[in-house]
Structure 1
Amino acid sequence: MKASIQLDKNGTTARLHGTLGIINIPYSAILELTRPTGLTHELVVPSSGNETWEVTLEDCTPGNYDALIRPREGKAFEATRLKFGITL
């Protein structure tokens, strides 16, 4: 199953969330986030005990971002990408 990814923005705060298609147990998903500087960070997605996931990013620098939600290991679900921008 393909994961979903959605964005809610409020100023410089971005909330990325969605469903994985599998139960979100500890260490089941990684969010790869490429910032406007070109640096990519891997964030472990907190477990929820159900299929949902959520990561909140505070004090985002204005610019273009690329987010990829993917399984930590194997092919537990199909990865999904979202490109978005932050403006002041």
Structure 2
Amino acid sequence: GVHKVEFYIKTDGDKIADVKFNSSKRCKKLMAIADLVAEKLKGQNVKNIKINPQEILDFFKEEKEKDKMENRLSIVLKAIGHT
């Protein structure tokens, strides 16, 4: 199946005040990564979002299926417009 995730960002001026997300599948890996990225987005400037993909993967370093984690991270990064 195809995994999809959507982020809903509430701003206060140029700052991200709150972030919620919704995923099409109940994939625990996708939801865990999306939750961590959502927390990291809070407080950032909406015009200059910075997410370090390696930092996210390092947080889940105990996860055995590294390729799935990288795939789910790419889905999340695409959803927030981070390339």
TM-score class, shorter-chain normalisation, is 0.3 to 0.5
Q: Structure with the greater relative contact order (CA < 8 A, sep ≥ 6): 1 or 2?
A: 1
TM value normalised by structure 1? 0.38
Higher helix fraction (1 or 2): 2
TM value normalised by structure 2? 0.39
